[in-house]
Amino acid sequence: MTKRRMTLRVPVRRGDALRRLANHHRDIGALQRLRGHEAAVRQAQEDPTANFYDRPGDAESFENHEQQSSADEKEEGDWVNLLRPEEPDEIDKAIQSNLERLRQEALQVNWDSLLDSLHATYMTQKMRTKNWTTPESYDTFNSCECVPQRRTIDLIDVYGQRREDFAFCSCTSDAIRLLQSGYLPGSPIRPVTAFSLPLLILHNSLWNHCNVGALPFMNALREYLEPRSQRLKVRNSNNARELRKPFSAAVDIYRELEDRTVRLMFSVLRLTPQQILACQSCPACFGPEPTNHKVYPSSTKNRLIICLDGNFQHRHHSKASRDYDRIQTPSIFLPPSNIQDMTAKIRELECQKKPDEKKDRCTESHKAADDKRNQSTWKGCDDTGLMGCCCRHDNAIYMANISKSGEQRYRPVGILYDIGCSLDKFMRIRDLMKEHRQRIQFATSIFHSYAHEWSCQVDYNPRLNTGWGMSDGEGLERMWSFLSRLIGPLRYSTRNHRLGSLAHLLKHHNFRSINCLPRWLKRKFNNALKRRRLVQKDLSELLGKPNPHSSSRRCYTRRFFRKQWEHQRKFKNESTADHEDRNEKLVSLCKREAAIEAMRKRLSESYQYLTNAEEVNELFDKIRSEAEKLEQEWIDLTEGGHPAPESEEKKLLLLLWSAKANLFAEAVELRAERQPIVESRTMGRHLGTKLQQKILKAIQGRRAAVNKLIATFNTTFEKYITKYPQQRVADQSSYPLTYEAFSKMPLDDRFWNDGLYYRSDAPWAIDSDVQSGIHGVLLLDRIREEFELIAQELFRAMAWALALYDHLRNYITYIRTRANQLQEGESDVELDHIDGLDLGNCSREEKLRLINRELQSLLYDHGLLIQDWSLDIAWLWNQCEKMENGDGGDLLNRWVALLDQIVVDQHIHTKSSRHTSSYGRCGDSGGGCCAGSACR
């Protein structure tokens, strides 16, 4: 039988065939360039002395080449750069993107599968080495008997860096094996770099307190370590390795292990959400309720005051990184699902209620509240900023991402917000949180309150309304200043790294604030005392003056000032928004009427410039038409029982009110532009010379427009006082107004608060003494509220400290009992919530030992915190008048007893820490037991 050779054709997928057909010419060109490059390389290897221009018969020197003919230049121009890179097409980009996605997903999966067992090893090593402070911190705590598999790895420590053959084993993952020796790897699988835990702990402290980035830190560390150890070189090179990326990965893993430990302890202690907020945010706000709460008035009893604010500097560019792994939201950030649910609810209520879209003037005066003003800034950003919520002690409670938008508004609670008035109206119109509206109150922050209209200040200024004490609402401004060093680095980081870094620094911010909480309360108490003395002094002088508004000519009284405040609020309530719009239309009519009168006057003086009758008739027809139109608008505006301002005095008052309102808007803008310079002097914020010059130049550029408004105001006021010299609605001491005086005026100056502004001749509007008396009486009320708030916050902080210390001691005793039962071989020990917690492959007994050691560490640190608080707590207790009422005395006795108990516990801890037994009484690894008598 004849044998035949047959060639089987391999089937090709249709997609591959079409792609080959489309890229045929490009592939042929690439193949030719590749062959030409290989030929050139082969020729250079065979004849290294060949001429550079590859012309064998040409032996001219370099100088002769400069005089080549045009033909040679043309021939040289035909050369093709064989190494020219090609632009990748869409398919190549898609392939690279998919490969990067797979790489990130694989990396995340590897870390996730490793973290549980890594966390258990971390807690074990932390217990054995007392947080890597003992000489055994770098010992190998590995009982494995496998044949070691050595591999070269770079180890970086505080004292040196080296490249060594590290002994790994097949039964333990590389990351856990390194952690058992005191190092954290930069990658989960076959790591080539690892960093010691003392180095990571040092970096964490520096990062919390200083502006330390990963790259400058590693550069500084390399300069410090290379002369003292060895240089870690790139493979086949003498250049030093770039360690920023593996170090950043190790830092993230270290922070994740610490956060897991904190979450584990909260689960062990079974803390409620409010107790967790007290531990992580503010014990003065979320601590236990005072037992003597009945002695406080309803305006301050159990009151929680929080602040809201947005910041658009902390935005993130969408093209800064390719994030394919899911977004991991830290606990201090609101989950995106919650924000989406609230947004959907708001949209649903808007469809039902169909509220008016008209914005109030306060919203318009704050650029952050208007989406349209920031879209150019947010272009190319996926996260456009942060929305923060903090308590009145400047501690962060929750944060939220602002995405593609501005500050959207989606126990008794007081909310201080730059545009609290607008947020209150927004929620009231849409019936948002209707079931909680009775216990929610809004106010504007102090700095922004004077930028609001008078009608808003009456209802929302925290100095004029009850329940706010001396809260200023500027806590988030101070927190933004603390976070400002992260703006630049995080704008181009990954989204997960951005959220994690912000959460980590906020955690340190709250930790620092809790440590200084009694000192903060003491400072606020002293400030309130000083303010009360000054206000009482000024008020006593006013109370000694005769009252010109009283028929009996008696002196001013507090009762009179309070009545005037009630009259002012009543006047405000009667002045509706429609009334304001009507006044603005009347002002426009007055201006147009004045313009027509000016035209008539000029025409009577300039008749010689009119050349014919047609021009004269046409001009007078236009004037007559405009006058008739004005007359009709006057009629329309004065219908419905509103008195028409026919008199010249009322028209001038309207024009003066309009001129002063325009000046006040410019004063607010000037204050806002100057604020960065003021903060650089008062709050320590860094402001460079170049930026300061830009701000001053912008202020100078607005001066011409302000001078024009000042001239208009001075002209109108001069006309008014000339015709009506006996007027009482304004003080003439500030006139004529100059730019220098205008620029120095604070927003609460008496110039802005006279009868021209209020359009009233009542005593509260025209008499500066009455205005000062009203503010003095109200300020004394706020100071009294401040003392009441501080007393309750002191009680909560002390009660929280006592309860947490007792709670920790009780759980240490409970765990000791279960550990003893397990050590004695009792197999019938019932399972509890601790057995259900995930801690790697630890046995029940080992899990109890690890948790017990961590609880003892928490107990010891909490005892130090209480001792740090003790002096300020004692001072505040003696100052607060109502602390002795109810069960307050019992709280003080418990506090004193706890201080004595802490001394005993710390003595036992110090004594027991000298022992070196494998496990202490409570399962402690040679570290003693802080529980004191609870373990005996």
Number of H helices, E strands in the chain: 33, 11
Q: Report the C-alpha gap between 352 and 763 in whole angstroms.
A: 45
Q: Report the C-alpha gap between 888 and 872 in whole angstroms.
A: 17
Is the distance from CB of 460 to CB of 443 less than 8 angstroms? Answer: yes
Instruction: Tell me the pairing of strands 161-168 and 183-185.
Output: unpaired
What pLDDT is attached to residue 151?
A: 92
What pLDDT is attached to residue 740?
A: 84
What pLDDT is attached to residue 57?
A: 41
Residue whose pair of structure tokens reads 């980081």 in the numeric block? 493
What pLDDT is attached to residue 543?
A: 93
Residue 745 per-residue DSSP state: -
What pLDDT is attached to residue 203?
A: 96
Q: Report the C-alpha gap between 244 and 221 in whole angstroms.
A: 11
Q: Averaged in consecutive runs of 10 residues, what is the pLDDT profile of the chain (936 residues)?
A: 54 70 79 73 54 40 40 44 62 80 87 91 92 85 79 94 91 91 93 95 94 92 93 89 93 95 95 94 93 84 88 77 75 87 79 62 50 54 83 92 60 64 71 73 67 67 86 83 86 86 94 95 94 94 90 88 89 65 62 63 56 62 66 55 53 73 74 62 53 71 83 81 70 76 73 61 81 91 93 94 96 92 79 88 89 93 96 91 62 92 84 48 41 40
CB-count exposure of residue 380 (10 Å: 0-12, 13-18, 19+): exposed
Give the start-end residues of each E strand in 116-218.
149-156, 161-168, 183-185, 193-196
Name which of 239, 254, 257, 247 is nearest 221 in CA terms.
Answer: 247
Residue whose pair of structure tokens reads 């002395």 in the numeric block? 49
What pLDDT is attached to residue 183?
A: 95
Radius of gyration of the chain, Cα coordinates, nearest whole angstrom: 38
Name which of 594, 722, 591, 713 is nearest 661 in CA terms.
Answer: 713
What pLDDT is attached to residue 922?
A: 39
Tokens of 568: 């002012």
Name which of 864, 930, 847 is nearest 899 in CA terms.
Answer: 864
**Identity at 829, one-letter amino acid code:** V
Tokens of 792: 């309750």
What pLDDT is attached to residue 684?
A: 45
What pLDDT is attached to residue 786?
A: 94
Buried-exposed string 53-63: b where 16+ CB fall within 10 A, e elsewhere: eeeeeeeeeee
Alpha helices in 745-767 (DSSP H): 755-758, 763-766
Q: Rounded to two decimals, what is the model's pTM? A: 0.76
What pLDDT is attached to residue 362?
A: 58
